[in-house]
Amino acid sequence: MARNVELSVDLIACTHFTQPSDVAWTTDATGGQALIEFAGRACYESFDKPNPHTADNASYLRHVMEVGHTALLEHATATLYLRGLSRAASHEFVRHRHFSFSELSQRYVDPEELNVVIPRLIADDEALLRLYHRAMDESRFAFDELLAALEEKLGAQANGILRNKQARQAARSVLPNSTETRIVVTGNFRTWRHFLAMRATEHADAEIRTVAVKCLKVLQPLAPVVFGDFEIATLSDGSEMATSPYVTDF
């Protein structure tokens, strides 16, 4: 039987800021948020903080977002490692072309067990869940049968690595959209905000919304000012969504 997997999102890299030694400036922030402030002040040589209303980092960054000077957010980046999302969700994710992606290859990695992400509407219904598992079992059976037949068909191929890759790339065509994938995603803070604004909304696909909210929960402690304006709410079906009062487009 197909095994359902849980979504996990881990922060694996983020911006480190090193201040030039000859610039007389201090800030109460670190990492990406410090870099954003530095980049903004560098535009006007305002390292002496002439405006008391934006003297601290939080006030400065909020002002940046309020006036729409969000190009500054592109200097700071975060890299997340996501596991337990479906191929369907990753297909939606990679449409956000300003990210950089490295995704699990089905041409090289053989799904020894068919790990899947079961849609909530199906998981909560016993009859639908039985139908779902039957479909997944049939897909796995078809994959195994095709893979064995393809490996036999390509038996004359001397290069074993190439033979296995060719067999898997053909057999994987019968694997379902709900098959688990794993993906490393790098984006600047502006790109992450845009993704969250588009995908954490209640109108987004249910799974990618879950992915977006989980990413937000990882990003908010990293950069609480940049992502702190997103508010998480619970919908009537028990799932979560998030929205921001700021415009976060490109």
Other CB atoms within a 10 A radius of the CB of residue 128 amount to 14
Q: Is 199 a catalytic residue?
A: yes
Residue 105 is labelled as binding a ligand: yes
229 phi-psi bin (left φ>0, alpha ψ -120 to 50, beta other)? alpha
Residue 107 is labelled as binding a ligand: yes
Residue 96 is labelled as binding a ligand: yes
Residue 112 is labelled as binding a ligand: no
Residue 190 is labelled as binding a ligand: yes
What Cα–Cα distance (Å) separates residue 94 from each residue in 60, 61, 72, 89? Answer: 32, 28, 23, 9
Q: Active site residue: 140, 168, 199, 209, which one?
A: 199
Residue 172 is labelled as binding a ligand: yes
Residue 141 is labelled as binding a ligand: no
Residue 150 is labelled as binding a ligand: no
Which residues, listed in sequence order, are joined to residue 234 by a DSSP beta bridge?
Answer: 240
Residue 53 is labelled as binding a ligand: no
Residue 95 is labelled as binding a ligand: yes
Q: Which residues contact 18 (CB under 8 A, 6 or more apart)?
A: none
Residue 92 is labelled as binding a ligand: yes
Q: Which residues define the annotated binding site for FAD? A: 95-97, 103, 188-190, 194
- List active site positions: 199
Q: Which residues define the annotated binding site for dUMP? A: 92-95, 103-107, 172, 199
